[in-house]
């Protein structure tokens, strides 16, 4: 993707001598926890998106806040880039070491530090994964709801302001992080927020670091909200004659304030892929909504009945229910495997996903225009959407051996971003900017990008923290 | 016309920055008591008023900063919607800009979200005189740094808010308030248990042996929760919750007559009642405690007690002299204070916007 600025203008690779000296110091201080093998560096050179890999010079595995701070202090003094890494599930090239330097892998900082069951919160080290946290919460009656699909670390989810299928009910990382421990560019360890619901006095630094993509500081501990496991969980599937009737159903439900935990849209192409890939039986390849309701027995029943009524009024089919845990998990597994199901539509293809989010009243327009664009270009691109939030992903399949095919896919993706911005939305609802959406950020935010740039310069004057990401530092 | 007003503010801010003239940003002035005293030429935000866009199906309202909060709430109520964070007015002239700048939320906050959770985007003029637009009109937006949230609670020290996009929610179809006679710690324990069990709580208030709990939601859920909770019914529940939200409740009114200072303690929800320094009015399931203390009390002691309860203490209401002496907000650790100074320098290098109001020198 072409960029309208040159990151190298503000950040060059450090000299070989500088890097060699730093690697020597890290090897001395961290022994086997400072790794320079090609295999490990390669593993830390990319996330799960399409990023062209960029290898760090060394990967360090700190075990404490103090060790992270010490590494960052060395990098700051030597002006060497430092990139934080969780498990590498980000999608927009966030972890690629564009200018080499040090990758700080937080996977050995994976302790749940405290669970305050009465206060409904917990504090974890950044390397704790979402599934690990929920496993450790077993027996407390509590759970951490945010579910982006991948088994990401809490640190990574915080740094990218992740959300997922049940954000419509529980919010995103933005609403659920209560406080943080962050290592600043100078290597200071600071604590923001805390256990109190209202964040600490002063500016809301917690929210500034949530979604900073490792460019303003390295998050080492996260305090998050927990929720009681609902007494009753009911899932249902409803199929529609067209995209418009499915989205109108969602709009009506949101307006009535039905507290649905998840509403996921799969278009006909995606439904076809999922039926084949996940062996779903009894469904047609038509636009489909997956619902999940959380609450007491009576509340979920009432919500589901009301939802069925609304769907029927908009031409939806009778609900197919899944109340047993196994049925539900089969359904959501099919949803989470949508990406792999899409890939299986055309053997040998690669794919990447757009991430537009629009005001819900424009969702149908945005989906239909996008669908027409895809058809005009003769591409295959299923749509899945967290439609309760107006957020959808177009999964663009392309032939990796055909540059023209990839160019067509990228052009469609760019038009999706532009369309969303034009409709009052954003180019990215949950995946982030990373390296791929820098241009779109400028289109979306205009003058405010200048301010973001100034914030970056104020908090990381030597541009050592994940350089080349999130905010373009110079404009061409 | 409004574009003219904003352009005029931009010119004024540029001139003030060049001359290093402090500006005091004021809307309805209903929250002037909150924060440290600030001096400067008046910049009245009420000239920039009016609801710009409200589409009920969208659950989003966009209004200019000087729009009266009452006007916004009326418009929402007409469409069966509300601001779920129940912002306090603290007077008849409260404006939307003031609500966002103060960042104060009302009784529904732990369950309905805080101001910062429901502000989707905003426009501000920063201390350079530049008009900036952050965020947008959608709930999920991860495009760049979250500058929107930085403005919430910044008390106008980073920029003059000109326009705000808010998420609105449907008014719950059913409300019920139940009362319980109990001790403070029992009240805290019960409300946290109920909250963890997913009961549809929407407000709690404990004072002098009585716990009031509001339930909101669909009728069957509220009715079932009432059966689970028990308790007794409460007369005039609507005006009771309004008195808590607006601080006209006896606890606040009686204390105000004594000349004492009102402290707002934001603490871990289950912190014991004892040890915080006296009789409290307890909201948010225990997470928010209001406490009157003599103006002569050592502020450091109050703050230390709050810190031991995993929180912090704000000198919410007090004379100018008391606020100047102790500072409204708990002092920040040095590295955090340094970050605040850098952010202030980024937005307002001449330090002309509401100088000192958040922290002395900022």
Tell me the ipTM for this assembly.
Answer: 0.95
Tokens 């999608």 map to which residue? A91
The whole-number pLDDT of residue A12 equals 80
Q: Do residues A209 and A180 make contact, with C-beta atoms less than 8 angstroms apart?
A: yes
Interface-testing mutation among A91, A198, A417, with chain B (most B C-beta atoms within 10 A):
A198
Orientation angle between helical segments A403-422 and A438-445, nearest 10 degrees: 20
Contacts of B314 in chain A (CB under 8 A): 201
Q: Are B235 and B177 in contact (CB under 8 A)?
A: no
Domains by residue range for chain A, with CATH: 7-107+449-459 (3.30.43.10), 112-228 (3.30.465.10), 232-339 (3.30.70.2190), 341-433 (3.30.70.2740)
Chain A CB within 8 Å of residue B78 CB: no
Q: Which residues share a beta bridge with A264?
A: A290
Question: Judging by beta carbons within 10 Å of its beta carbon (0-12, 13-18, 19+), is residue A410 exposed, middle or buried?
Answer: middle
Pick from B27, B158, B30: which is nearest to B89 by CA? Answer: B30
List all residues of chain B from 110 to 129 with a beta carbon under 8 Å from chain A: 110, 113-114, 116-117, 126
Cβ-proximal residues to A302 (8 Å cutoff; 6+ apart), any chain:
B218, B220, B221
A363, A393 in Cβ contact below 8 A?
no
Inter-axis angle of helices A448-459 and B334-347, nearest 10: 150
Chain A positions in Cβ-Cβ contact with residue B225 (cut-off 8 Å): 296
Of chain B residues 302-321, which have a CB less than 8 A from chain A?
Answer: 310-312, 314
Beta-carbon separation of B220 and A440 below 8 A: no
Closest B-chain CA to A363 = B58
Neighbours of B131 (CB within 10 A): 20
Whole-number Å distance between alpha carbons of B140 and B120: 9
Nearest chain B residue to A197 by CA distance is: B287
CA distance B324 to chain A (A): 16
CA B139 to the chain's CA centroid? 20
Whole-number Å distance between alpha carbons of B189 and B211: 11
Is beta strand B60-64 parallel, antiparallel or unpaired with respect to A232-239? unpaired
**What is the rounded average pLDDT for all residues in chain A?**
92
What is the distance between the alpha carbons of residues B337 and B359, in angstroms, rounded to a whole number?
9
- Interface probe for B, chosen from A358, A386, A448, A462 (most Cβ of B below 10 Å), is A448
Q: Which of A148, A145, A331, A165 is nearest to A238 (CA)?
A: A331
pLDDT digits (tens, 9 = 90+) for A33-83: 999 999 999 999 999 987 678 999 999 999 999 999 999 999 999 999 999
- Strands A383-386, A262-266: pairing kind: antiparallel
pLDDT of A51 reads 62
**Model pTM score:** 0.95
User: Nearest Cα to A304, choosing from A248, A232, A387?
Assistant: A232
Q: How many CB atoms lie within 10 A of CB A328?
A: 17
Residues of A in contact with B59 (CB under 8 A): 254-255, 360
By Cβ distance, the residue of A208, A296, A444 closest to B221 is: A296
Question: What residues have CB less than 8 Å from A219, skipping those under 6 apart?
Answer: A84, A126, A155, A158, A159, A180, A181, A182, A209
**Order of strands, sheet of A232-239, starting from the edge strand that comes earlier in the sequence:** A320-322, A232-239, A288-295, A262-266, A383-386, A391-398, A350-353
Q: How far is CA B26 from CA A51, B39, B46, B93, in A?
A: 48, 11, 8, 11
Longest dimension (CA), chain B: 65
Minimal CA separation from B118 to chain A, in Å: 10
pLDDT at A1 over 70: no
- Written as tens digits, the pLDDT of chain B (362 aa) is 577 999 999 999 999 999 999 999 999 999 999 999 999 999 999 999 999 999 898 899 999 999 999 999 999 999 999 999 999 999 999 999 999 999 999 999 999 999 999 999 999 999 999 999 998 888 899 999 999 999 999 999 999 999 999 999 999 999 999 999 999 999 999 999 998 888 899 999 999 999 999 999 988 889 999 999 999 999 999 999 999 999 999 999 999 999 899 999 999 899 998 888 888 999 999 999 999 999 998 899 999 999 999 899 999 999 999 999 999 999 999 999 999 999 999 999 999 999 999 999 99
Q: How far is B140 from chain A (nearest CA, A)?
A: 5
């Amino acid at each position: 993707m072409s960029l309208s600025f040159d990151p190298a203008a503000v950040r060059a690779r450090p000299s070989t001598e500088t890097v060699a000296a730093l690697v020597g110091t890290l090897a001395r201080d961290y022994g086997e926890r400072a790794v320079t093998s090609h295999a490990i560096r390669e593993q830390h050179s990319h996330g799960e998106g399409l990023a062209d890999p960029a290898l760090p010079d060394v990967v360090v595995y700190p075990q404490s806040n103090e060790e992270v701070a010490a590494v960052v202090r060395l990098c700051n003094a030597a002006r060497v880039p430092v990139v934080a890494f969780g498990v590498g599930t980000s999608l927009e090239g966030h972890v690629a070491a564009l200018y080499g330097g040090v990758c700080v892998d937080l996977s050995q900082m994976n302790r749940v530090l405290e669970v305050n069951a009465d206060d409904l919160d917990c504090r974890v080290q950044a390397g704790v994964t979402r599934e690990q946290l929920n496993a450790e919460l077993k027996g407390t009656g509590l759970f951490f709801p945010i579910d982006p699909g991948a088994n990401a670390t809490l640190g990574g989810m915080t740094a990218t302001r992740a959300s997922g299928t049940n954000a419509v009910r529980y919010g995103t990382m933005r609403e659920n992080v209560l406080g943080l421990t962050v290592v600043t560019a100078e290597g200071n360890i600071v604590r923001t927020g805390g256990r109190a619901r209202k964040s600490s006095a002063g500016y809301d630094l917690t929210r500034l670091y949530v979604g900073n993509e490792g460019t303003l500081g390295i998050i080492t501990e996260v305090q998050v909200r927990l929720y009681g496991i609902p007494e009753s969980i009911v899932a249902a599937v409803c199929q529609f004659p067209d995209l418009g009737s499915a989205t109108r159903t969602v709009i009506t439900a949101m307006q009535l304030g039905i507290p649905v935990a998840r509403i996921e849209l799969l278009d006909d192409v995606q439904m076809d892929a999922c039926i084949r890939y996940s062996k779903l039986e009894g469904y047609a390849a038509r636009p489909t909504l997956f619902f999940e309701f959380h609450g007491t027995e009576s509340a979920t029943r009432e919500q589901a009945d009301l939802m069925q009524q609304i769907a029927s009024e908009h031409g939806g089919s009778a609900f197919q229910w899944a109340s047993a845990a196994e049925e539900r998990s089969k359904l959501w597994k099919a949803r989470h495997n949508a990406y792999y199901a899409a890939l299986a539509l055309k053997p040998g293809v690669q794919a990447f996903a757009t991430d537009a989010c629009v005001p819900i009243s424009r969702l149908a327009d945005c989906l239909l225009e996008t669908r027409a664009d895809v058809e005009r270009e003769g591409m295959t691109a299923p749509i899945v959407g967290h439609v309760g939030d107006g957020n959808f992903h177009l999964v663009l399949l392309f032939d990796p051996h055909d540059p023209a095919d990839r160019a067509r896919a990228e052009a469609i993706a760019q038009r999706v971003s532009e369309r969303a911005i034009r409709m009052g939305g954003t180019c990215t609802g949950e995946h982030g900017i990373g390296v791929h959406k820098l241009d779109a950020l400028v289109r979306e935010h205009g003058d405010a990008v200048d301010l973001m740039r100034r914030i970056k310069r104020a908090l990381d004057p030597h541009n050592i923290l994940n350089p080349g990401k999130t905010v373009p530092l110079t404009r061409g | 016309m409004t574009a003219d007003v904003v352009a005029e503010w931009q010119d004024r801010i540029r001139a003030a920055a060049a001359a290093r003239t402090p500006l005091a940003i004021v809307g309805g002035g209903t929250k002037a008591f909150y924060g440290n005293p600030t001096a400067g030429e008046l910049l009245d935000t009420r000239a920039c008023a009016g609801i710009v866009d409200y589409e009920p199906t969208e659950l989003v309202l966009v209004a200019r900063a000087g729009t009266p909060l009452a006007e916004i709430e009326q418009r929402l109520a007409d469409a069966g919607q509300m601001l779920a964070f129940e912002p306090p007015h603290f007077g008849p002239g409260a404006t939307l800009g003031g609500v966002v700048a103060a960042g104060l939320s009302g009784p529904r906050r732990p369950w309905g979200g805080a101001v910062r959770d429901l502000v989707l985007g905003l426009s501000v003029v920063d201390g350079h005189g530049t008009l900036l637009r952050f965020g947008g009109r959608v709930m999920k937006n991860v495009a760049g740094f979250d500058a929107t949230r930085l403005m919430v609670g910044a008390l106008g020290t980073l920029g003059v808010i000109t326009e705000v996009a808010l998420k609105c929610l449907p008014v719950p179809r059913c409300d019920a308030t139940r009362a319980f006679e109990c001790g403070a710690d029992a009240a805290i324990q019960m409300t946290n248990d109920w909250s963890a069990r997913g009961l549809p709580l929407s407000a709690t208030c404990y004072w002098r042996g009585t716990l009031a709990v509001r339930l909101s939601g669909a009728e069957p859920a509220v009715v079932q929760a009432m059966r689970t909770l028990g308790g007794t019914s409460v007369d005039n529940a609507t005006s009771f919750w309004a008195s808590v939200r607006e601080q006209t409740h006896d606890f606040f009114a009686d204390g105000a007559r004594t000349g004492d200072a009102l402290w707002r303690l934001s603490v871990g929800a289950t912190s014991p009642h004892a040890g915080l320094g006296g009789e409290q009015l307890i909201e948010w399931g225990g997470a928010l405690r209001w406490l009157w203390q003599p103006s002569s009390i050592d502020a450091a002691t109050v703050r230390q007690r709050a810190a031991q309860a995993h929180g912090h203490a704000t000198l919410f209401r007090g004379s100018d002299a008391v606020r100047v002496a102790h500072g409204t907000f708990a002092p920040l650790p040095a590295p955090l204070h340094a970050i605040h100074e850098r952010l202030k320098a980024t937005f307002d290098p001449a330090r002309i916007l509401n100088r000192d109001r958040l922290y002395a020198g900022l």
